[in-house]
Each structure stands twice: as structure tokens, then as C-alpha cells.
Amino acid sequence: MSDTMRVFVYALYTALATGLGALPFLFVRDLSRRVVAASNAIAAGLMLGASLGLVAEGAQRNGWATFVGVNVGIGFIVLTQRLIGDHEPEIGQFRGAGARRMLLMVVVMTVHSFAEGAAVGVSFGGGMALATAITVAIAVHNVPEGLAISAVLRPQGVSLLACAAWSVFSSLPQPLMAVPAYLFVERVASALPYGLGFAAGAMIFMVLVELLPEAYEQERGRRVALLTGLTLAAMLLFQQYV
């Protein structure tokens, strides 16, 4: 197997791992208002935790570049909302606010995956030991990201298989980005903080304007805040020790 093919295959594994995030919904069958609120709160906590991790990682490389990336990411979501805000988007049989939230989630997580794919490719520049460690870490990290996506899609009536498929789809930029990042490691490495900040800003803004407001409409504020806070803390600890 050539080096470039090995990079692609390793990054593909990380993308496939995202689909595992849909598995918990095998055990959740009653999608009541409380389950919808809990799903949005869980997704919010996971995304906030992931965002803080991305900001921390980017700041270690280049704090100013990360700051710029965060603001560009926020601007991207604002622009996306305006583009789809004048009409009700349709995704299969889904339309209206639910389809809008689904579309934003998939877009945000897909954009986020570009930075992770670049990280996998860059890591191969440091040898197989480092590349394997980074690949495993990102693959494990992708599982709760898949859960965050499924937590938004599943309450809208999306099938479990489709949740897994959309989760994997959102991570496909990882194998697509890993190979060019490996081939142009020095140039991509310098741009990585911008990508990390972009993904963090986009996710944070989406949490604040989409997921948490919806959760507060469906459930008591204290329960939503508690679940979001616990999930956020769990995600931060998860990233610390993985």
C-alpha cells in the first residue's frame, strides 16, 4: 500500500467511526417533547465541548489565526442562515424549522471535518506512531460528534440508518482533505489554526441560536442547562484523556 493510500484509508476510518454515534438511538423509541429537548441539549453540550477543544488546540498553534477563524465561522453561519431564511428548506419529507436545523447541523459538522482531515494528513508528516495516535484520537472523538448529529436528526423522524449515514457523510471531508494535507504538510499546517477556529465559531454560534432555544421551548430551563452542562463537562474530560 502506498503512503498516500494509507493516509486516505486511515482518514476513512475516522469518518466511518462517526456513524457509531447513532447507536444510542437504538434504545430511544419514544421521541416525546422531553426527548427532543434532551437531544438538543446533549448536542449543544457536545458541540460546545468540541468547540472549546478546537479553540485550545488552535491557540497553541497560533492564537490570532484561531481568533480570526472563529469570527469567520460565526459569519459563515449568519450568512448561511440568511440564505436559507427566506424560504423553508426541504430535506426529503422534512421541511420548515426542523429541516432548517437539520441542514445547518450537517453543514456545520461537514465544514468542521475539513480541519480534522487536515490534522490527520499533517500528523503523517511526523511518522507512523504519531499518525496512528492522532487517527485513533480523532476516530474516537468523532463518535460523540455523530451522536450530536443524530440527536438533532432523530427527533425529526429521520431513520436510524439515515442518521448514521448523514453522520458519516459529514466526516467525508476527512479522507478527502487528509491526502493533500499530507502532500503539502508545511502549507496546510500553517493554515490549520484558521480551520480549527472556523469550525469552533460555527458550532458555538449554532448552539446559541438554534439548539438551545429549541431545547428551552420544549423543556424546563434548569433541566436543559443541567444536561447541557453535564454533557459539556463530559466532552471536555473525554478530549483531555483521549
Residue 126 DSSP code: G
Rg over alpha carbons for the chain, rounded to the nearest Å, is 17
Q: Is the per-residue pLDDT at 132 higher than 60?
A: yes
Mean pLDDT of 145-170: 82
Q: What is the pLDDT of residues 227-241, one digit of tens each?
A: 899 988 887 887 777
Strands (E), 12-160: 90-91, 94-95
| Predicted local distance difference test score (pLDDT) of residue 93 | 47
Q: What is the torsional sign of CA 164, 238, 179, 68?
A: positive
Q: How far apart are CA 27 and CA 48, in angstroms?
A: 25
Contact 184, 46 (CB under 8 A): no
Q: Grid coordinates standing for 183?
A: 502532500
Range ranked top by mean pLDDT from 89-103, 118-132, 184-198? 184-198
DSSP β-ladder status, 94-95 and 90-91: antiparallel
Percent of the chain with pLDDT over 70: 82
Q: Considering only CA atoms, which of 62, 68, 66 is closest in space to residue 54?
A: 66
| Predicted local distance difference test score (pLDDT) of residue 89 | 47
Q: How far apart are CA 131 and CA 36, in angstroms?
A: 38
Nearest 5°: the CA angle 202, 206, 211 is: 155
Q: Is the per-residue pLDDT at 86 higher than 80?
A: no
| Predicted local distance difference test score (pLDDT) of residue 223 | 87
Q: How far apart are CA 214 and CA 97, in angstroms?
A: 10
Q: How far apart are CA 150 and CA 232, in angstroms?
A: 17
Mean pLDDT of 45-65: 84
First to last CA, the chain: 28
Distances in Å between the Cα of 171 and the Cα atoms of 7, 65, 101, 148, 195 are 15, 23, 18, 13, 15
Q: Is the per-residue pLDDT at 71 higher than 90?
A: yes
Mean pLDDT of 3-27: 87
Q: Considering only CA atoms, which of 48, 50, 49, 28 is closest in space to residue 38?
A: 28
Helices (H) and strands (E) in the chain, counts: 9, 2
The pLDDT mean for the chain works out to: 78
Strands (E), 70-177: 90-91, 94-95
Q: Is 81 exposed, middle or buried (0-12, 13-18, 19+ CB in 10 A)?
A: middle
Q: What are phi and psi of 95, to 5 degrees?
A: -155, 170
Mean pLDDT of 157-166: 86
The residue extents of the domains of the chain are 3-18+32-241
